[in-house]
Structure 1
Amino acid sequence: MFSTTVIYTVFLVFSETFFTTASSELTVSRELRIQENFLVSWIVNNDTIIFNVSTEAKPGEYVGIGVSYNGAMKGADIGIAKIFPGGIISFEDRYGIDKVSPILDKSQDWHLLSSNFRKESTVSFQVSRLLNTGDSAQDVEITEDTLRLIWATGKFETDTGKLHYHENGTRGVIPINFLDPDMDTPSHEELSNMFDLWNPKRKTHLSRNETTYICSFFKSPDIPKRHVIGFGLEVNPIENLRHVHHLDLYRCSAPSGTSPTEFFAPFVGNDYDCSYSPVQFPFENCLQFEFTWSEGGGITLFPENMGLPLQPNEYYMTQTHYDNPHERDDIVLETGFNIYLTSNLRPIEVGQLYVGFMTSKSYALTVPPNSTNFTVSSHCSSPCTSNLPPEGINTFSVMLHSHNSGRRMQLRQFRSGTELPPLAKDDYYDFNYQNNRRLRETRKIMPGDHLTVECVYDTVWKGGKSVLGGRSARDEMCIAFLLYWPRIENVNLCGSYHDQEQVLNFMGVEKVYQYQGEVDATIIEPSHLAGLKYSHVVENLMNWSLPVRERYQKFAQYGEQHAFCHPTVGLNESMAKTAYPKIILTRESRAGWNIGATGIIVMSIILQMCL
């Protein structure tokens, strides 16, 4: 019935989103126009979700909607509305077993509340089900994770009820967070009429490289101070959107005693390969991370009383990740930000905090070939967060970010020996659907808190290849981007990475050479491996027996790491070490991750004692 082919025509953009807590009363109202004549809306009241569906269908046809963990038919929880002669509508709870007609669920947990059929072939119906029906065998629990809304229309035999396979163009898969509220985000056109617009963008002819990072320099408008109230991506032509993986904005600062105009003006209007440029450009002077858009994201708006400061005649750098998997040489596109500005300055100023792995330390993040549920951690340590103001900062939005091998992610928070509920968690992470998700409740990060990003990877899809940390979508990252208030200047990047020498030694490698920006290093020593690529050793010469895998997994998740904290001075990166904190008290926020909450906590404490 349903297939994984995506028919992705979504007219409403959802970017203002949240995570719930156990104590919160859950109320959600959402609407999604799948196609011009196909509207799905839903309301959540505590433990129940009610779907309203309206589309065109005639007697002898069916309309199906469902929930899937990964967009596939197999394992999907599906509701089918059948329209019989006379406009009579029946509804069935079905279960996907493969690319065949879904079978009737033994427990009918979708309930038809109302239905209507009009002669002009418009059908509407309302159905309800519990978020957690208790039928784990044939239903999908609706949680805060990224799930997939699947839909299809087709014909059925009115005498037997047998469903026919849907035709092309009559089914689709849409990644969605069902429990995120509809913040009624206006369109770009509407926002442009409501606010001033700054549109830093550049036209680029892509090289045939699979992955390209382009750094471009811009000068802010020569107008009095404004507040950024939101941002979105602009790509022309729109069909080339698939080649843009992410776009970041950095604020630049000239060296002390240097005129910003004299220092940055020669670079404005020019583009540079961020990693391989033969021309020197001031990348190191543009490290104040302001905000990011990533694949599948929409327009991000800040709360109505908050804005990000934009001063006149400041200098900024954008970093654009272009993806060209087929290595074409005919792709020309214009890419940039739509940045919405207001002259009515808001009372609260926001900032962004990067938490996670330093990807430039490429092979420090190594995931062995044919790995499943392989967990990597990165820590924002207490010495770094100690630089936060005494009252802390208030996080209102989180984006979790990894690449094609990422399967699950979460951002954990520890305070004074106690683990708090995760700041963010997604057990069904979707690389193609990354948003700045608004938290349901603002979360406080206090001085001395310890944050840990955990990423769970699967490399089986690479057919015996390993995965290294790097820029390509086929390499990996492990990052959380937090939007918060009040804005501070002394902590912008916070994270950790494994000692590269320890990783090399584990693989039997002593010394390597990396060309500027190169991910896969060339081995120099030992002599019998000289000239080989590091990945070749990991994939072909390592004996990944179960004991070796377990030992490396323990190192990758629990081993001591180098901490970094930017731009704060005083935390000596070469000396600072970090790992999981000792836990005295925990909350039940770890269910279903690896060996469970208790096991991980006990293991963390034991490892801390042994490291």
Structure 2
Amino acid sequence: MKIMSLLWTKSFLFLLSIPCLCSSQLSPPPLRFSAFLDHSNLVFMSWDHDAEEIMTFELRVKTTGWVAFGFSPHGELPGSDIVIGGVFPNGSIYFSDWHAVDEENLEEDKSQDYQLLSLTEDEIFTTIRFKRYFQTCDPNDLDITGDTARLISAFGTDDTVQFSKGQRFLKSLFLMRVISPTELNDPKIFFTHDLKLNDFPIPVDETTYACTFIPLPIVKQKHHIYKFEPIITTHQNRSMVHHILVYACGNGSVLPTGISDCYGANPDFALCSQVVAGWAVGGGSYQFPNEAAISIGTPMDPQYIRLEIHYSNFDLIPGLIDNSGIRLYYTLDLRPYDMGVLQTGVFTFPVHFIPPGADTYKSYGLCKSSQFNEMNGTPVPDLKVFGFLLHTHLAGRGLKVVQYRKGEQVRIICEDNKYDFSLQETRDLKEVITIKVGDEILVECNFQTLDRTEITFGGPSTLNEMCLAFLFYYPRNNISSCMGYPDIQQIASALGQEASDAMEGMIAMNYVEWNNETIKNAEKAAKEADQTVIIKTIDVSVVCLYLAEWLGVGKTWSALEFETKAHGRTKVSALSTAEILPLPLLLLTQLAFTWLLISYQCRI
């Protein structure tokens, strides 16, 4: 490797020349995964990984100048791990491993850990193929993990590298995909069916939950829905759609007509709780694995769904018309199993709170599956979990879903410690895992509120918070969700506040003087507080389990510092939708009242 020139200016300037050794190589094998890294489709990346923990990348960039690619810690340039390469006009190439010191200066790594495989250029494109290990032991290289990656790409018009002046892009991407489209069985004959709103006027409100009920395809024999994809209407080059959920309805339900607020004055628009498909910001289409799909067309299958679309119109733009929804793909080519979705996490009520000014604050929601058989009506087979979707709002920084059996941790089912609100997608597990009746599922969410001066409460608005994990599994059962929430009175007491009931407990949080110490005390109290577990079925019957002990016993981080002990205080009650679901949006007192109602109904 021969350095031809290396110039430093305010924006950083260098040229690096090495002989071209790539022109006579055979065509490399195709890479399984691919995505554009920019909105204009100028930077196309393919990638793959193997059992030796090596990641191979190929970038095809619409330029004849320099090309850069790398990893950012949290989306900013300083601290980023970057590789830069290109082809000089004389045909020689340059390629080297660098890191960003600040917004304007790069330094070459002493350890060159990216291995160049090929580098070519034609009249339009520069194509670079290289590889590196997931972990290089170089402190200037960022590890490649199962978390969401923040990828930086950039290019210039010639071979004088001025990184701060080139076109630069940032994209969040999940690199550890395990199933490529070519590994999925596409049926030869299939049909499509759209579940969407038609010419819906988006209200001039920051948050709107619009719901309607739509029939599934009418078929005379069993079919399988094997794929879904979003239909998103863009407005002024952006989407107002925060998420779309499709809930299956029990066939005995009496459903309203029209479009209304999902959680407003008419509780019937919150009927149906069995999630069958979902999309959120940053997601794309999803095709189920070859083993399972959603069944339609049999007497046991739902005939109607509730379509829920959450709009975020923060700029209060008037006159917007929307036609968003979900497109279903279905076929007679049946899979071995019918699949279901289990919603877990923290039950979405204002009893779930996050203090302001927190660099990190963890919330926990428990699912205890001991009542599954009773709720299902028949014994529930083992759940074979193959995929997941994680969901928080803007303060969310990471999520973990952990499985326990008889008080011992079995595994971390899934996690993302670099969660990005702008990339919410259904992901496949590396291997199918088994959940047995009686197991406990703990969802941990990590939040950051350094930019907030008021408490963030759980709720439906994007400015509220959620802590949810959707687990995709087979064979299906009637359980739609299993979530928990902590005893707010215990938390208030631990923070030196008096509260005679849950309402006073929530109000008391506003009188706490929040600082690092009280934030840590609140997190510890919420972690150790008794949890009420709410289990819902497709017909919205509910069981509430009041767990008498939640003991932190100082285990290692991988065990989430938890040991659970249920003392058998259980009450089973069938509650109406009006008793379960929150009342008008964004009104904390009404949400709190609803929470008190369900709390009263569930406890002994």
TM more than 0.5: yes
1:369 aligns with 2:373: no
What is the CA-CA distance between 1:107 and the residue it aligns to?
2.0
Q: Counterpart amino acid of 2:54?
A: T
Change (3 A) 1:28 1:70: farther
Tell me which residue corresponds to 1:122: 125
Question: Percent identity between the aligned chains?
Answer: 26
What is the CA-CA distance between 1:383 and the residue it aligns to?
2.0
Tell me which residue corresponds to 1:98: 102
Q: Counterpart amino acid of 2:314?
A: P
What is the CA-CA distance between 1:193 and the residue it aligns to?
8.9
Pick which of 219-228 and 191-200 moved more: 191-200
- Residues 581-592 of structure 1: pairs in structure 2 closer than 5 A: none
Change (3 A) 1:582 1:163: closer
Change (3 A) 1:579 1:174: farther
SS of 1:553 mapped into structure 2: helix
What is the CA-CA distance between 1:563 and the residue it aligns to?
1.1
Match of 2:485 among 497, 514, 531: 497
What is the CA-CA distance between 1:101 and the residue it aligns to?
3.3
What is the CA-CA distance between 1:113 and the residue it aligns to?
2.8
CA deviation vs aligned residue, 1:383-425 (integer Å, no higher than 9, x gap) = 2456684651100001111111000110011123331221101
What is the CA-CA distance between 1:211 and the residue it aligns to?
0.7
1:213 aligns with 2:209: yes
**Structure 2 unmatched runs, 5+:** 1-8, 12-29, 568-604
Which structure has more RCO (C-alpha within 8 Å, separation ≥ 6)? Answer: 1
Match of 1:52 among 58, 61, 79: 58
SS of 2:518 mapped into structure 1: helix
CA deviation vs aligned residue, 1:71-91 (integer Å, no higher than 9, x gap) = 211221100004323021111
1:289 aligns with 2:275: yes
Change (3 A) 1:39 1:237: closer
Q: Does structure 1 conserve the Cα–Cα contact (< 8 Å) formed by 2:490 and 2:525?
A: no
Change (3 A) 1:125 1:254: closer
Distance 1:369 1:62 in 2: 44
Distance 1:123 1:139 in 2: 24
1:484 aligns with 2:486: no
Distance 1:86 1:80 in 2: 18
CA deviation vs aligned residue, 1:555-574 (integer Å, no higher than 9, x gap) = 1223211111112999752x
Distance 1:597 1:33 in 2: 35
Distance 1:345 1:578 in 2: 45
Q: Does structure 2 conserve the Cα–Cα contact (< 8 Å) formed by 1:226 and 1:342?
A: yes
1:165 aligns with 2:169: no
Distance 1:607 1:416 in 2: 9
Change (3 A) 1:55 1:223: same
Tell me which residue corresponds to 2:263: 275
Distance 1:57 1:48 in 2: 27
CA deviation vs aligned residue, 1:500-534 (integer Å, no higher than 9, x gap) = 44456658475899xxxxxxxxx8x79xxxxxx94
Q: Does structure 2 conserve the Cα–Cα contact (< 8 Å) formed by 1:379 and 1:578?
A: no
Change (3 A) 1:28 1:87: closer
Tell me which residue corresponds to 2:45: 40
**Structure 1 unmatched runs, 5+:** 4-26, 514-522, 527-532, 591-595
Change (3 A) 1:218 1:511: farther
1:83 aligns with 2:74: no
SS of 2:420 mapped into structure 1: coil
Pick which of 200-209 and 404-413 moved more: 200-209
Match of 1:112 among 113, 116, 119: 116
Match of 1:559 among 529, 543, 558: 529
SS of 1:200 mapped into structure 2: strand
Q: Counterpart amino acid of 1:144?
A: G
Change (3 A) 1:231 1:571: closer
SS of 2:519 mapped into structure 1: helix
Match of 1:195 among 186, 190, 196: 190
What is the CA-CA distance between 1:130 and the residue it aligns to?
1.3
Tell me which residue corresponds to 2:430: 440
Distance 2:292 2:180 in 1: 16
SS of 1:338 mapped into structure 2: strand
1:133 aligns with 2:175: no
Tell me which residue corresponds to 2:583: none
Q: Counterpart amino acid of 2:420?
A: D
Change (3 A) 1:210 1:446: same
Tell me which residue corresponds to 2:320: 331
Q: Does structure 1 conserve the Cα–Cα contact (< 8 Å) formed by 2:386 and 2:433?
A: yes
SS of 1:352 mapped into structure 2: strand
Q: Does structure 2 conserve the Cα–Cα contact (< 8 Å) formed by 1:69 and 1:428?
A: no
Q: Does structure 2 conserve the Cα–Cα contact (< 8 Å) formed by 1:29 and 1:181?
A: no
TM normalised by structure 2 equals: 0.79
Q: Counterpart amino acid of 2:486?
A: H
Distance 1:191 1:104 in 2: 46
Q: Does structure 2 conserve the Cα–Cα contact (< 8 Å) formed by 1:417 and 1:582?
A: no
What is the CA-CA distance between 1:328 and the residue it aligns to?
1.9
Pick which of 563-572 and 425-434 moved more: 563-572
Change (3 A) 1:239 1:377: same
1:449 aligns with 2:449: no
Pick which of 234-243 and 349-358 moved more: 234-243
1:181 aligns with 2:190: no
Change (3 A) 1:507 1:283: farther
CA deviation vs aligned residue, 1:38-85 (integer Å, no higher than 9, x gap) = 332223222222222223433xx3100111232211221100004323
Match of 2:243 among 227, 246, 249: 246
What is the CA-CA distance between 1:597 and the residue it aligns to?
3.7
Q: Counterpart amino acid of 2:483?
A: G
Pick which of 305-314 and 80-89 moved more: 305-314
Tell me which residue corresponds to 1:145: 147
Q: Counterpart amino acid of 2:248?
A: R
What is the CA-CA distance between 1:355 and the residue it aligns to?
0.6
Match of 2:463 among 461, 474, 477: 474
Pick which of 344-353 and 310-319 moved more: 310-319
SS of 2:356 mapped into structure 1: coil
Change (3 A) 1:426 1:38: same
What is the CA-CA distance between 1:344 and the residue it aligns to?
3.0
1:403 aligns with 2:393: yes
Tell me which residue corresponds to 1:22: none
SS of 2:526 mapped into structure 1: helix
Q: Does structure 2 conserve the Cα–Cα contact (< 8 Å) formed by 1:253 and 1:285?
A: no
Q: Counterpart amino acid of 2:226?
A: I
Pick which of 335-344 and 145-154 moved more: 335-344
CA deviation vs aligned residue, 1:255-280 (integer Å, no higher than 9, x gap) = 5xxxx6xx33xx33x10112234xx3
Match of 2:513 among 526, 538, 543: 543
Q: Counterpart amino acid of 1:276?
A: G
CA deviation vs aligned residue, 1:327-373 (integer Å, no higher than 9, x gap) = 222221112110111123333100000011110x21x1111110121
Pick which of 231-240 and 494-503 moved more: 231-240
